[in-house]
Structure 1
């Protein structure tokens, strides 16, 4: 799904990467370049050198749903309904279809009761769910999530996970600080000091991280 060739951007240096998996987890220390990598994949930034493609296309040519680490900073509208509907309106989807999709997506995430509320009245977890709904409502090909789970309790996290499972055609690139969550991904990318140090399955990547804080707590308990 993701292919990087000769990429140099800010502190990132990625000579070559071919990551083909439906769910990709991005992990690593703070300041390693993870958010910059997600921004390149989302097409929010263009690399200074090299090329990033998704499914063989430029990110700008791919339908992408983005949820940043701080959802409240990217909300454009004062009402929850309008925030979720925004991507549909920008694409000139009819009012009837837009209304149906907003309500269906809100119901999927259990936030129908939030639709008439003001966005500035929401809790951090509610804002994250609304931002996720806005990213999901326009049927993206790829969801790019930057530490969204850090705002969610266990129940809200389960709703998001279930919503992703309900869309088998959607690929996910998610940065997370929860290694137990990362271990469930199809492919892991460990970024450190601007470089992808390890890429592979959870077993392959975590084998290199046993003596670090990036080893899943559940695996330590089980003696994996």
Structure 2
């Protein structure tokens, strides 16, 4: 469970929220507080007031994988292999175990052929996949993605969506601008002005958003 209590931080104003679903999509207009919420849940920001609990513990104590919207801002190492290996190395895993994890993550994401490449030589989509592999390499309890699919071509975005769906993480918290992708989630948060205005299943949330730009295209075609 992700439990949020009396959260006040920057724009955020979330008095009480409990999330038990596995795949949770976070949607809403630009500037609505989505990225700030994800940053607080990931432990990247400490809230000014209130508390966030991830699986019964603070975010700093949880095993969290993070993928941001702009990989260039978060990739730290010059070689793809070293970027993916950073988490196992920081956790002092034996070299053989770290290598197993790196190659398994690269295989899952489909970037084994990039392991010896320089990060600077990669395309934007390839960098996003490297960031995703680095996030899932040590089987995080919670996987958090902040619009990781925003700047990807259709094929790469589809691959990211598949990997996210297949993640064994207890929770996947994903901010996305793709309403079609959000429609595949188990649970949706619709944010506006720092508040959660709607939450529930895709049917529940999108029924309240019908006629807006947040209604999924595939649902428009269906109806």
User: Does TM, normalized by the shorter one, top 0.5?
Assistant: yes
Structure 2 counterparts to residues 66-215 of structure 1, below 5 A: 66-215=66-215
Length-normalised TM-score, structure 1 = 0.96
User: Residue 164 of structure 1 contacts residue 170 of structure 1 at CA under 8 Å; is this kept in 2?
Assistant: no
User: Residue 139 of structure 2 contacts residue 169 of structure 2 at CA under 8 Å; is this kept in 1?
Assistant: no
Question: SS at 1:214's partner residue?
Answer: coil
Question: SS at 1:21's partner residue?
Answer: coil
Give the gaps of 5 or more residues in structure 2.
Answer: none
- The equivalent residue for 2:26 is 26
- CA distance in 2 between counterparts of 1:46 and 1:118 reads 34
Alignment root-mean-square deviation, CA: 1.2
Q: 1:131 to 1:169 in 2, by over 3 A?
A: closer
User: Residue 67 of structure 2 contacts residue 135 of structure 2 at CA under 8 Å; is this kept in 1?
Assistant: yes
- CA distance in 1 between counterparts of 2:126 and 2:110 reads 10
Question: SS at 1:102's partner residue?
Answer: helix
- CA distance in 1 between counterparts of 2:166 and 2:12 reads 34
- CA distance in 1 between counterparts of 2:118 and 2:152 reads 19
- CA distance in 1 between counterparts of 2:155 and 2:183 reads 19
Give the gaps of 5 or more residues in structure 1.
Answer: none
- CA distance in 1 between counterparts of 2:116 and 2:26 reads 35
Worse-matched range after superposition: 30-39 or 165-174: 165-174
Worse-matched range after superposition: 145-154 or 28-37: 145-154
Equivalenced residues, count: 223
Displacement of 1:107: 1.2
Displacement of 1:174: 0.3
Displacement of 1:157: 2.9
- CA distance in 1 between counterparts of 2:206 and 2:144 reads 22
Moved over 4 A (4+): none
